[in-house]
Structure 1
Amino acid sequence: MKKRFLFAGALGLMLSFNASAQDATAMKYASTITAADLEKHLSILASDEMEGRDTGAKGQKMAAEYLANFYSGLGLKGPVDGSYFQKFNLSSVSYPNISLTVGKQKLVNNEDFIFIGDADMTKVAKTDLVFLGLANEENLKKVDVKGKLVGLWAVGSRAQTVVPEVMNAGAAGIVIVTMEGQANFDRMANWYKSLSTRGRLGFEQPTKQEPIFLVSTEKMGALFETPVEILKEAAKNNPESIKSQKVSYQVKKQNKPVPTENVLAFLEGTDKKEEVLVISSHYDHTGIDSQGRINNGADDDGSGTVSVMEIAEAFATAAKDGFKPKRSILFLNVTGEEKGLLGSEYYSNNPIFPLENTVNNINIDMVGRIDYEYQDAENQDYIYVIGSEMLSSHLKVINEYNNITYTNLILDYRYDAEDDPNRFYYRSDHYNFAKHNIPVIFFFNGVHDDYHQHTDTVDKIEFPLMTKRAKLIFHTAWDLANREQRTPVDGTNTRLDR
């Protein structure tokens, strides 16, 4: 507590002298970050030609080449044995044949149910579908789940938190409901339908025989021929009162390798060159949807990627003029974020520079738009800041100081709460640095109607505001790269489980 008060006082002192504390050199190179340049690069990366930059697809490869050529033109080094590409293989898993029949109801994949588990079966399994409701010890005493397909009522829960206990109790598989409303289910079903043609990407893993079928609340009621309200009550108190159903199902699996790559550019520092600041974004997006529409991903995360490019240009220009940073800087554009933070996971598990020498990660994911919260605000000069005070007591203070000194944005911390229901902290690439106890700061503009839609296009980007946000990030990075002491790791990571 005493340390917190000391830093609050230090911040107040720094802010009171902000006018005289402006660094003319930093301001000179921050001015190279322009709305025109951001728009020029984004108009290419988020064009239809890039086909939505889906991981492993042609458009993602084209985007990677564009980034590498840009960094080469700046004179930045390719740190992967002379290359800008950190290449690796992902595994594309698809399930070309999935069948599920309950009683006389033959269900349709990605319409009546979504397959969210993993399995590879040589023949059709036949058993009972029993209703367990809540996955707790009391209900497991009331319902025999061994060898059965088990109905779980888990509205508001994440499947991965409730499935293991039931599978460990001997269940053959699970039919689960996790969300209210048919519309929510239908949106997810459409997304899975778009994945069905190209598979789910991830790192290759042994097959788990865990057939798990996600259904809507309404469909769960239909499967058990019971009104939804009765199922809700039975889930809590008397799941054994719900009659079981005969069920048959089969899942067949295919697996193929998908080559992809992170893009890395390196600027070596001077007297503290062994220490590395990582500035990251993900340059992939979700490709082409099931209706053939291109998801350009202008905000998500074309905006973050071109911000990294402009920040890299500012540092490279300064270096050419004789103002190299004390610490080294790695500009890291990762792939596979939309598939589960895969590119940053690969880098953090296979770092080009030792993680113990990585002082901070600044992650930029969606900084080009105005969200629901600010769309009607009088002052729309804001940015959400996430994760900045969890691992280091200094990082938030440094960012706030640079903001009040140079950019005067509203720094909004509402999504930094540990109980944030949106779980934004867990949904971008800084997570894979923080889990290794590297202090992180994540910049984010919030969500809008075009999030993950084909309507996330360049014409909707707020380039003047995006420029101001990029300049704040540059100033914070300049400070972190040049200050005498690296930010201490004096906090505890309380958010390890995604």
Structure 2
Amino acid sequence: MKRNYWIAGMLSLCLTYQVSAQDATALKYAEKITAAGLEEKLTYLASDEMEGRDTGEKGQKMAAEYLANHYKTLGLAGPVNGEYLQKFNLASVSFSEVNMTVGKQKLVNNEDFVFIGDGDMKKAAKADLVFLGLASEENLAKVDVKGKLVGLWAIGERAQTVVRDVMDAGAAGIVIVTMEGQANFDRLANRYKSLSGRGRLGFEQPSKQEPIFLVSSDKMSSLFGTPVEILKEAAKNNPESIKSQKASYLIKKATKLVPTENVMGYLEGTDKKDEVLVISSHYDHTGIDSQGRINNGADDDGSGTVSVMQIAEAFAAAAKDGIKPRRSILFLNVTGEEKGLLGSEYYANNPIFPLENTVNNINIDMVGRIDYEYQDAEDQDYVYVIGSEMLSSQLKVINEYNNITYTGLKLDYRYDAEDDPNRFYYRSDHYNFAKNNIPVIFFFNGVHDDYHQHTDTVDKIEFPLMTKRAKLIFHTSWDLANREQRTPVDGTNTRTDR
């Protein structure tokens, strides 16, 4: 409570002295960030020529070259042994054959089920399919899961957690329901079908014999020959009442390496140069869909990437005039975010600069649009801010001070709640810094009808609003890079598990 009063007092003081508190030097270089500059860069980055910037594909490579040349032209250093690219390999895993039969039902992959597990088998395996429902201690005491395929009813549950609990109890594999409604499942299955030819990207690792099949609630009902409502009730209290079924399954796997790269430009600081501020975005997107349409990713995350480019321009212009930041700044554009935050995970595990010297991560992912919540609002000058007060008592205050002083946006914290059902905190690259106890701010505009669609195009970007958001991020970054003390890590990270 005392902390809240202190924050309120600070903000009141900032409002009273807004004009006199402005830094004329910061204002001068903030003017390098323009709507015209953002539009010019985004028009190229989100063009059809980039083919949707899918990780490891031609368009992503072209975008990486474009970013690297930009940082080189600005006079920023290449921090990877003089280069601007941090190259690494991902593994593309595809399952050339996945079969499952339950009783007399021969199921079709990406229609009747979606395979979300791992495995590589020389011949089909046979097992009983038993119904467990909820993965509670009580249910596990009632149903023998060892060596069995286990039916889980995980609607509203953390699927990753319950899967792990049941596999650790000795299950041979899992058939799981995570959502209500056949239509929702069909949309997911169609997406997997469109992606099946490309393979799943991730880090190379040994195969795990963990067959996990996702099915709809209706299909689970069909497999056990039991109405959905009865399964729901049995899932809670008496899973042993559901008769087991005979099943067999086969999984064949193929793996190939996919080279990709993070892009970075480095501006060395002065008296505090060993301390590093990271300003990040992801520059990859989802490529070309199953109908041959290019997913340009103008908002996601072309908007964040060109914002990083223009913020870099502003800092580079100041440096050329002899005004370098006290702390060093790493401008980091990561790959593979759409595949599971892979590029930022690789950087966090293979940092160019020690993580203990990384003072903050400012992450920008989708800042060019107006979302569902604000589309009919009278005042649309907003941005969502996520993660800013988890690890440091000062970071949120610093950002709010700079907003009041320079930009006057509405800072919306609704998605910062730990119980946010959208789980946006876990869905962008700041997460891989926060889990290493580096204080973060994630700037975000929310979702809209064009999210992950081929209609996410440059003509729908709100460039004046995007410019204001980028200027806020610049001012907060300028402050963090030049203040006397780095922001303390005096909070507890309560969100470490995705």
TM-score class, shorter: over 0.9
Aligned equivalents of 1:95, 1:393: Cα separation in 2: 47
How big is each residue's C-alpha offset from its partner over 1:50-77, in whole Å with a ceiling of 9 and x where there is no partner? 1111111111000000000111111111
Contact 2:14 2:405 (8 Å CA) reproduced: no
2:396 corresponds to: 396
The CA deviation at 1:195 is 2.2
1:205 corresponds to: 205
Greater Cα shift, 56-65 or 289-298: 289-298
Aligned equivalents of 2:456, 2:412: Cα separation in 1: 23
SS of the residue 1:112 aligns to: coil
1:486 corresponds to: 486
Aligned equivalents of 1:163, 1:446: Cα separation in 2: 30
Count of matched residue pairs = 498
The 5 Å alignment of 1:142-221 reads 142-221=142-221
Aligned equivalents of 2:248, 2:291: Cα separation in 1: 31
Aligned equivalents of 2:44, 2:197: Cα separation in 1: 26
SS of the residue 2:120 aligns to: coil
Aligned equivalents of 1:126, 1:437: Cα separation in 2: 45
The 5 Å alignment of 1:327-476 reads 327-476=327-476
Contact 1:128 1:245 (8 Å CA) reproduced: yes
SS of the residue 2:246 aligns to: strand
Aligned equivalents of 1:141, 1:398: Cα separation in 2: 52
SS of the residue 1:300 aligns to: helix
2:276 corresponds to: 276
Letter aligned with residue 175 of structure 2: V
How big is each residue's C-alpha offset from its partner over 1:202-221, in whole Å with a ceiling of 9 and x where there is no partner? 11111111100000111111
SS of the residue 2:429 aligns to: coil
Aligned equivalents of 2:275, 2:142: Cα separation in 1: 58
The CA deviation at 1:6 is 3.1
Aligned equivalents of 2:457, 2:190: Cα separation in 1: 21
SS of the residue 1:418 aligns to: coil
SS of the residue 2:447 aligns to: coil
Please list every run of 5 or more consecutive structure 2 residues that lacks an aligned counterpart in the other structure.
none
Root mean square deviation of aligned Cα: 1.1
2:228 corresponds to: 228
Aligned equivalents of 1:392, 1:202: Cα separation in 2: 31
How big is each residue's C-alpha offset from its partner over 1:263-298, in whole Å with a ceiling of 9 and x where there is no partner? 010011111111111000000011111222111111
Aligned equivalents of 2:169, 2:437: Cα separation in 1: 35
The 5 Å alignment of 1:65-104 reads 65-104=65-104
1:310 and 2:310 are equivalent in the alignment = yes
Aligned equivalents of 1:167, 1:487: Cα separation in 2: 42
Letter aligned with residue 119 of structure 2: A
1:141 and 2:141 are equivalent in the alignment = yes
Please list every run of 5 or more consecutive structure 1 residues that lacks an aligned counterpart in the other structure.
none
SS of the residue 1:275 aligns to: strand
The CA deviation at 1:14 is 2.5
The CA deviation at 1:130 is 1.2
SS of the residue 1:467 aligns to: helix
Contact 2:298 2:458 (8 Å CA) reproduced: yes
Aligned equivalents of 2:309, 2:407: Cα separation in 1: 19
How big is each residue's C-alpha offset from its partner over 1:422-461, in whole Å with a ceiling of 9 and x where there is no partner? 1100111101111111110000000111111111111111
Aligned equivalents of 2:438, 2:16: Cα separation in 1: 30
The CA deviation at 1:11 is 3.0
Aligned equivalents of 1:156, 1:185: Cα separation in 2: 15
Residues 378 and 4 (structure 1), Cα distance of their counterparts in 2 relative to 1, 3 Å cut: closer
1:108 and 2:102 are equivalent in the alignment = no
Aligned equivalents of 2:321, 2:378: Cα separation in 1: 40
Letter aligned with residue 74 of structure 1: L
SS of the residue 1:12 aligns to: helix
SS of the residue 1:260 aligns to: strand
How big is each residue's C-alpha offset from its partner over 1:60-110, in whole Å with a ceiling of 9 and x where there is no partner? 000000000111111111000000000111111111100011111111111
Contact 2:22 2:405 (8 Å CA) reproduced: yes
Contact 2:119 2:211 (8 Å CA) reproduced: yes
Aligned equivalents of 2:175, 2:478: Cα separation in 1: 51
The CA deviation at 1:4 is 4.5
Letter aligned with residue 378 of structure 1: E
SS of the residue 1:442 aligns to: strand
Letter aligned with residue 135 of structure 1: A
Contact 1:127 1:246 (8 Å CA) reproduced: yes
1:300 corresponds to: 300
Contact 1:80 1:352 (8 Å CA) reproduced: yes
Letter aligned with residue 416 of structure 1: D
2:51 corresponds to: 51
SS of the residue 2:186 aligns to: helix
SS of the residue 1:33 aligns to: coil
Aligned equivalents of 1:331, 1:244: Cα separation in 2: 56
Contact 1:114 1:189 (8 Å CA) reproduced: yes
SS of the residue 1:313 aligns to: helix
The CA deviation at 1:2 is 3.7
Contact 2:14 2:404 (8 Å CA) reproduced: no
Contact 2:127 2:248 (8 Å CA) reproduced: yes
Letter aligned with residue 132 of structure 2: L
Aligned equivalents of 2:183, 2:291: Cα separation in 1: 18
Contact 1:190 1:290 (8 Å CA) reproduced: no
Aligned equivalents of 2:268, 2:16: Cα separation in 1: 34
Aligned equivalents of 2:373, 2:184: Cα separation in 1: 21
Contact 2:279 2:362 (8 Å CA) reproduced: yes
The CA deviation at 1:188 is 1.5
The CA deviation at 1:3 is 4.4
Aligned equivalents of 1:273, 1:235: Cα separation in 2: 58
Letter aligned with residue 277 of structure 2: L
Aligned equivalents of 2:409, 2:2: Cα separation in 1: 28
The CA deviation at 1:406 is 0.8
Letter aligned with residue 292 of structure 1: G
The 5 Å alignment of 1:1-80 reads 1-80=1-80
Aligned equivalents of 2:123, 2:472: Cα separation in 1: 58
How big is each residue's C-alpha offset from its partner over 1:31-65, in whole Å with a ceiling of 9 and x where there is no partner? 11111111111111111111111111111000000
